[in-house]
């Protein structure tokens, strides 16, 4: 872009501001996603311990109560921050470019592209990466994605309607 000499600093400052705002938005999205996944996993583990306690008390399960699995929680938090955060930021940035503005038709377009294109990619990635991290096997992660993605998507879509 050819600008008069006295305007070069303005152009540079605008680019720097845009870059900084973009990085800040990405980092915030990653932090929120990571924290959400950490909290969600801790709640899930609490429910799992309660179910196990009830089963032991009812006599339908033997053994000890499961302990908090911090490695699992950190894995979920990392998946939430690095996969969920970056894909969420990227997809909503892209969707805003494809469907700029406001209004009912724009909102419907944004929801459709998010749910039909980006949601399966995000969920598939979470299934793959989490299972791969848990087992150390990419193929186990790939199988988890192949066998569970449709069910996860159907539940997601059923709860969004």
Reading the block at residue 45, the tokens are 């583990």
User: How does pLDDT run across 46-80, given as a tens digit for each residue?
Assistant: 999 999 888 888 888 777 888 999 999 999 999 89
pLDDT value, residue 7 = 47
Phi, psi (degrees; rounded to nearest 5) at 38: -60, -50
Q: How many residues does the chain have?
A: 161
Name the nearest CA neighbour of 113 among 93, 131, 133. Answer: 93
Tell whether the model's pLDDT for residue 134 goes beyond 50.
yes
The whole-number average pLDDT for the span 17-22 is 61
Of the listed ranges 19-23, 57-61, 95-99, 149-153, the one predicted with least confidence:
19-23
144 with 128: CB under 8 angstroms?
yes
b/e per residue 35-69 (b: at least 16 CB within 10 A): ebbbeebbeebeeeeeeeeeeeeeeeeeeeeeeee
d(CA 122, CA 91): 10
Its sign, for the CA torsion 122, 101, 35, 85, is: positive
Tell me the CA distances in angstroms from 128 to 16, 74, 77, 156, one per residue in order. 36, 16, 15, 17
pLDDT tens per residue across span 73-123: 999 999 899 988 888 888 888 888 888 888 898 889 888 998 899 899 989
Q: Is the pTM of this model over 0.85?
A: no
Which tokens go with 95? Answer: 């969707």
Q: What is the CA radius of gyration of the chain?
A: 21
Token pair recorded at residue 113: 């592209």
């Amino acid at each position: 872009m050819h600008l008069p000499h006295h305007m070069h600093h303005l152009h540079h400052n605008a680019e720097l501001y845009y870059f900084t705002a973009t990085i800040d938005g990405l980092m915030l999205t990653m932090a929120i996603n990571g924290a959400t996944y950490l909290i969600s996993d801790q709640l899930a583990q609490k429910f799992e311990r309660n179910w196990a306690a009830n089963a032991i008390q009812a006599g339908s399960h033997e053994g000890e109560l499961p302990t908090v699995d911090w490695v699992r929680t950190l894995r979920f938090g990392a998946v939430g921050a690095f996969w969920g955060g970056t894909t969420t930021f990227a997809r909503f940035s892209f969707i805003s470019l494809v469907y700029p503005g406001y209004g009912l038709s724009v909102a419907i377009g944004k929801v459709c592209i998010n749910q039909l294109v980006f949601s399966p990619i995000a969920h598939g990635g979470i299934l793959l990466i989490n299972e791969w991290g848990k087992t150390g096997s990419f193929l186990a992660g790939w199988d988890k994605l192949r066998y569970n993605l449709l069910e996860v998507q159907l539940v997601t879509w059923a709860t969004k309607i």
